[in-house]
Amino acid sequence: MVERMEKCWKQWEQPLLILSVVLHPSYKLSKFHTSISNLSLTNLGKWLKYYYEAWFGSKPRTVLAEFVQYIKELDPYDDNSFTQFQGRLVDFWEFTSGIGPELAKIAIRIHGICVNFASVERLWSSMGYLHTNRRNRLKSNKVLAMAQIRSDIFYNRNIRNAKNGEKKIRQLHIATPIPEEESDNDSDDNDNQIIVDEEEENLERNSDNENEPVTKEDEKCWDSIITEWINSAEHENQFDNVDDENLFSDELNNFDLGGHTLHPADDDSAKWSLVSLFTSNLESPTFLNRDNKFADE
């Protein structure tokens, strides 16, 4: 079990998960071993600067000073202040944003992440339509590229349908002209004429929408989608020898953001083992305690 957990943990973006524990006011650094060399305040500060620049598109100015104040538990980062929020992390960090705005933005972003498998399940479902019993020789890279293109097509189609729906709603809310006041017979004839004209206009609109010609924008959109599909297929076919694999790995390593040339998930210096990272006196999650409480009752 430990080996399987370590294998999965090694593939994750560990700095992000570690910061989620460090930026919990009740934990801070108390759950980690103090003897780890590459988990000092300096290293954590580097990752704070990286995520601030990656998420908000600008370089931080005061996040390191705010982080030191937070680690020293100076007011309002002390335990007394946090207990008044009854465990509500987002509310606590919103409260402290007046003193430490940059650190609060990072903490709110991290603790606001909803951990779920919805996107992965949706991608697997889409890949299931492509990798069938009759098409079971497709490589995983090609299936993934095809699924991404399929999702992009559906996304653009939904946007197009939403815009067409807004146009129809605006057309329905166009006020009809008010006829001049005449005799009763004339007014009845005008009302009937307005109804007939509206029906004819609706029929003409529907026929125009059905017979609407393909515009140049649609052709360019489809050309770009098909070109991307072809490039993905050709790119996948380049992995037949070692030289092409090295070329592909060099393309992946072309990364430069926040002073880091490697993505956190690929950086070997940002990898720790679970056994050496956390202390041995970790308490069980709160939901496990609740289950035990219900079982006792």
Q: What would the pLDDT profile of 109-153 be if each residue is shown by its tens digit?
A: 999 887 777 777 877 787 787 888 877 787 888 888 888 888 888
Residue 77 has pLDDT above 90, yes or no: yes
Q: Is residue 94 part of a domain?
A: yes
Tell me how many domains the chain contains: 2
Note whether 142 and 245 are same-domain residues. Answer: yes
User: Mean pLDDT, to the nearest integer, of 83-94?
Assistant: 93
Note whether 167 and 65 are same-domain residues. Answer: no
Higher-scoring residue by pLDDT: 1, 192: 1
* Reported pTM: 0.56
Q: Is residue 168 part of a domain?
A: yes
Q: Is residue 195 part of a domain?
A: yes
Q: What is the DSSP string of 109-164?
A: HHHT----SHHHHHHHHHHHHHS-STTTT--HHHHHHHHHHHHHHHHHHHHHHHHH
Q: Is residue 126 part of a domain?
A: no
Q: Tens digits of per-residue pLDDT, 25-59?
A: 999 999 898 788 788 899 999 999 999 999 998 99
pLDDT at res. 126: 79
In which band, very low, low, confident or very high, does the pLDDT at 260 lie, cut at 50, 70 and 90?
low
pLDDT at res. 295: 47
pLDDT at res. 216: 63
pLDDT at res. 211: 47
Q: Is residue 59 part of a domain?
A: yes
pLDDT at res. 161: 87
pLDDT at res. 96: 95
**Residue numbers of the domain that contains 57:** 2-115+256-296
Residue 242 has pLDDT above 90, yes or no: no
Q: Is residue 125 part of a domain?
A: no
Q: Is residue 131 part of a domain?
A: no
Residue where a domain stops, chosen among 252, 270, 287: 252
> Cα angle vertex 258, ends 253, 259, to 5°?
70
Both structure tokens of 261: 């040339």
Q: Is residue 240 part of a domain?
A: yes
pLDDT at res. 135: 76
Q: What is the DSSP string of 52-87?
A: HHHHHSS--SSHHHHHHHHHTT-TTSSHHHHHTTTT
Note whether 246 and 285 are same-domain residues. Answer: no
Residue 205 has pLDDT above 90, yes or no: no
pLDDT at res. 130: 81
Phi, psi of 154 (to 5 degrees): -65, -35
Separation between Cα atoms, residue 125 and residue 120, nearest integer Å: 9
Note whether 92 and 148 are same-domain residues. Answer: no
Note whether 226 and 279 are same-domain residues. Answer: no
Angle between helices 41-56 and 14-22 (to 10 degrees): 110
